[in-house]
Chain A
Amino acid sequence: MLQGWVVVLVSFTYLGLLFAIAYFGDRRADQGRSIIANPYIYALSLAVYATAWTFYGSVGRAASDGIGFLPIYLGPTLVIILWWMILRKIVRISKTNRITSLADFIASRYGKSAALAGLVTVILVLGIVPYISLQLKAVSTSFTILLQYPEVAMPAQRAPETMLQDTAFYVALTLAAFTIAFGTRHLDASERHEGLVAAIAFESVVKLLAFLAVGLFVTFGMYHGFGDLFSRGFDEPAVAPLLSPLEGPAGGYASWVWLTILSMLAVMFLPRQFQVAVIENVDEKHLRTAVWLFPLYMLAINIFVLPIAVGGLMRFPDAAVDGDTFVLTLPMAEKQQALALFAFIGGLSAATGMVIVETIALSTMVCNDLVMPALLRMKRFRLAEHENLSHLLLSIRRYAIVIIILLGYGYFRLAGEAYALVSIGLISFAAVAQFAPAILGGIYWKGATRAGALSGLSAGFVVWAYTLLLPAFARSGWLPEPFLTEGPFGITLLKPLELFGLTGLDQITHAMIWSMLANVGIYVGVSLRGHQSVIEQTQASLFVDIFKQTSELASPWRGTASVGELQGLVARFLGPARAADAFRQYARDRGLKSAEDLNADPGLVRFAEIQLAGAIGASSARVVVSSVVQEEPLGIAEVMNILDEASQVIAYSRQLESKSRELEAATAELRAANERLKELDRMKNDFISTVSHELRTPLTSIRAFSEILHANPGLDREQRSRFLSIIIKESERLTRLIAQVLDLAKIESGQVEWHNSELGMQEVIEDALTATSQLFKEKAVRVATRIEPGVPRINADRDRLMQVMINLLSNAVKFSDKEQGLVQVTLRTLGDTLRVDVHDNGIGISPENHEVIFEKFRQVGDTMTDRPQGTGLGLPICRQIINHYGGALWVESRLGEGATFSFTLPLERASARVSKVAS
């Protein structure tokens, strides 16, 4: 009696060992010392193809069909012969395009179509879930059987269990946990799992050894070799038919042929095979060894299938024991406890390997091709704004893993009992085979279109579901039985198992014929009728011509050059020593002794180009390399590629153009700013020069007259007083000038303190008139004021406004008519401004001088007469003051009609500005 806990302990120990291997593999990968970077590990990891279905199911199928199980392994052997061409191409394409899954591959080929990726994922999930359920069934059945040891009893004979009593449920949960641990441990969400591959390779060894052990025991332990076993078998009526020739010339062979084809496709396009063969491939050269080692593995694991089946049938003649369990039940029946446990572990390893890899591959697709596109499309999640989505990705994958495995469990609970293991597996194979046209067509036929792939795949999938999935449901009682026997709605032609009346074939062959017909026919037909978008064309030539491109995709060189020329070229830019080093290293990497042995193939040209690109930039490097490479004439496809590239270059150059335009604009701005600075500098110099002139003139009088008075004490009284009065006036002028220059400088540099207070403009005007009344009297100029009542009060600096008013009034007096002088002052509101006009009836100012008079030191007077008195700074200062309050100061005048100096002050803004200044 094998204790349950022993079995469980051994199982978990085994899984723990696997996990340790995976952990070790990952550690080594992180250190850059990969343990899977050799062709043997690669070949063993491919043997994930052999699942519990192989381990248990082959014997079961052999027990009923004889060697009918073999096409499942002969097909792969045949197709693998072509792998060096086909799979290497797929691997190259995937590496070049950073493909992460089967769905990714197909979608990428057909213009990166999200719809296609989604469809592929859905098909895969639906097609693979039964296959996963098969593994769960195998593990739980074998576990249940083993617990009966040494009694051999089929679980079906026992009472049905609830889910919580169901071994398969716990198996599912355990496998989900381990899959998560294996597949989503990395936070970088990388699609490669070195540790996992190492563990899978180990599992392949375990299951092979376990199976061989059982086989050897049966053949040589229970019987005396093959001859003995088979000759006894011929005597047994239940066994003899298995050993006789295949039945019937047509049906038997058709089934054989279709199974071969089916498995040829499955071994490439099952998600787990694609994962280990393509995605996890470290070096495509590993294919060299794998293509013969993997078939050898399959041969080895199959040698004893028939002997075990024969042995089982003889040992359990009453058909009480299911053929699917012979691998386990034969050792049990022979009381080989250790061997039985080893067989169980072998089956466990076959099942776990499949479930883990398959589920990881599926979860990657579900995450990348179903969930993420949906999430990204949903604005609500704002995924695009997140910087690091790796945690989210991993969570999605973990959930996907759990859900996929639980789906497998659900299928097992509901439908799994309806079939022998092999049937379930073949349904999955047939689903996966639907991808073959799209993939194989995609890598060899440039004309294949996205629409063709989508519709072909959809059609194949629908037919598959109709002829295989629905009948499975019907047999499980989910659909009425007449659906199978009489066709839907009684239409005989549509009977799922005899579509359009095609009879005499087994279910798989029937389904394959119809689905492939629909799939390939529609794929080709739609592709031929439709046309490709630009991205489809680009991707198509990228995929189909992958080997015409050199190792790097970017710039395919087709041409020849000599090694010496290339090295010389590189030496010119990198120096001879570095160039020689680089070429030596390149040669060594390729297993050559020295650079002299190198061929100047496109790879070397590309290498040289990369070396140069590091020094002089990629585009220059291409130009430089092209100087020594004799390019071969290009095919249309290459021209298209180059055009694609060229259109990118054009886009870049447009960007450059716009950048250079921006730069030009910036330069122009800078130049303008510089001009302005120069102008300001010139103005400053002019200003200083003018100020100096204006200062020197009164100083000259003061100094010279002082000297005269000093040197001539005997001057007459009248003359002396005249000279003295000049000195006094010029001193005053000097003082005023200095004050105004300083005042203006302060206003302009913003250093003036504005003592704002609420004031009435009419009061300011009255005060200014009072202050200048003496002036008016002296010149006998009359003044008339017109002040609108109720002008709002404003907030401003009283003294400054006084300064403005006094200045304008003095000017008006100065320039008004000599005889009939009249100055009119008006105050009124105009909209939301306050306006003051000061009009004189003098000679007026010509229009060209209207602005000049507001410039510093620019006085305009009657040049024929005395030059005007004053500093030439009064009006500029007034304008600065008015501008400070957001108003304007200007003059309106015509020669001979007097002049009106007007200014406005905004009522609101004046106060707003004040409050701002106050705060």
Chain B
Amino acid sequence: MNKRILIADDEPNIVTLLEFLMQQSGYDIRSASNGEDALRAVSEYHPHLVLLDVMMPLRNGYEVCQTMRESPEFDDVKIIMLTAKGREAEMAKGLASGADAYVTKPFATKELVETVKRLLEP
């Protein structure tokens, strides 16, 4: 059975991109376009990993991440933060909120796929 991945981003083009990459790597996917959707999808879909954009409407990526980490139910869900803000401070903030990896946009597709694989198949 394939691992499930939730893609949360408000840019449709990015969602399209991530869907293609994850499907190609053999994962099942679901997508959400804002923070609220993302949290709902997490509880419904129980993904193994979430690709979480930081700048999203309603709830940003940090908030989603924190909310997930506060609940033991999602303890083992891996989280990769995606952000267009490339600063070190942002990265630290992302990791502090409980993310497993932090990827800045624009990224190399190969690296992202490898990061996902490494987190899901230890």
Contact = CB atoms under 8 A, between A and B. Distances in A.
B105 A696 contact: yes
B51 to A, nearest CB: 12
B119 to A, nearest CB: 19
Interface string A682-714: 000000010011101101111111011001100
Contact of B109 (A692, A711, A867): A711
A580 interface: no
Contact of A708 (B34, B84, B109): B109
B111 to A, nearest CB: 10
Interface stretch (B9-17, B41-49, B61-69): B9-17
A719 B107 CA distance: 21
Contact of B106 (A696, A712, A726): A696
A697 B17 contact: no
Contacts of A719: 20
A702 B34 CA distance: 22
B54 to A, nearest CB: 9
Interface in A632-652: none
A22 to B, nearest CB: 89
B85 A700 contact: no
B102 to A, nearest CB: 14
Given A707-B110, A708-B20, A867 B10 contact: yes
A700 B14 contact: yes
A866 interface: yes
B10 A699 contact: no
A689 B21 contact: no
A869 to B, nearest CB: 11
A863 interface: yes
Contacts of B26: none
Contacts of B92: none
A699 B109 contact: no
A694 B106 CA distance: 11
Nearest to B109: A707
A755 B25 CA distance: 56
Interface in B94-108: 104-108
Given A700-B106, A707-B110, A693 B84 contact: yes
Interface in B3-48: 10-14, 16-17, 20-21, 24, 33-34
B14 A701 contact: yes
A486 interface: no
A863 B84 contact: no
Contacts of B24: 712
B13 A730 contact: yes
Nearest to B18: A704
A872 to B, nearest CB: 12
- Which of A704, A705, A719 has the most chain B CB within a 10 Å cutoff? A704
B120 interface: no
Interface residues of A, number: 26
Given A704-B107, A704-B109, A866 B12 contact: yes
Contacts of B87: 689
Given A707-B108, A707-B109, A708-B21, A726 B10 contact: no
A729 B11 CA distance: 13
A722 to B, nearest CB: 8
B106 A708 contact: no
A730 B11 CA distance: 11
A697 B13 CA distance: 9
Nearest to A690: B85
Contacts of B13: 701, 726, 729-730
A697 to B, nearest CB: 5
Contacts of B58: 863
Contact of B107 (A700, A708, A726, A863): A700
A697 B15 CA distance: 12
A864 B21 CA distance: 26
Given A701-B14, A726-B16, A693 B85 contact: yes
Given A866-B12, A867-B57, A697 B108 contact: no
B41 to A, nearest CB: 15
Contacts of B17: 700-701, 704-705, 708, 726
A697 B20 contact: no
Contact of B105 (A700, A726, A867): A700
A730 B16 CA distance: 13
A692 B86 CA distance: 8
A700 B17 CA distance: 9
Nearest to B24: A712
Nearest to B17: A704
Contacts of B104: 696
Contact of B84 (A697, A705, A711): A697
Nearest to A695: B84
A693 B110 CA distance: 22
A696 B86 contact: yes
B106 A703 contact: yes
Contacts of B34: 863-864
B84 A696 contact: yes
Given A707-B109, A708-B21, A700 B12 contact: no
Given A692-B86, A694-B84, 12 more contacts: A692-B84, A696-B85, A697-B84, A697-B105, A700-B105, A701-B13, A704-B106, A711-B110, A712-B24, A863-B57, A863-B58, A867-B11
Complex A-B, nearest 3 residue pairs according to Cβ-Cβ distance, in ascending order: A696-B84, A700-B105, A700-B106
Interface of A: 689, 692-694, 696-697, 699-705, 707-708, 711-712, 719, 722, 726, 729-730, 863-864, 866-867
8 contacts: A692-B85, A696-B106, A708-B109, A711-B109, A719-B20, A726-B16, A726-B17, A863-B57
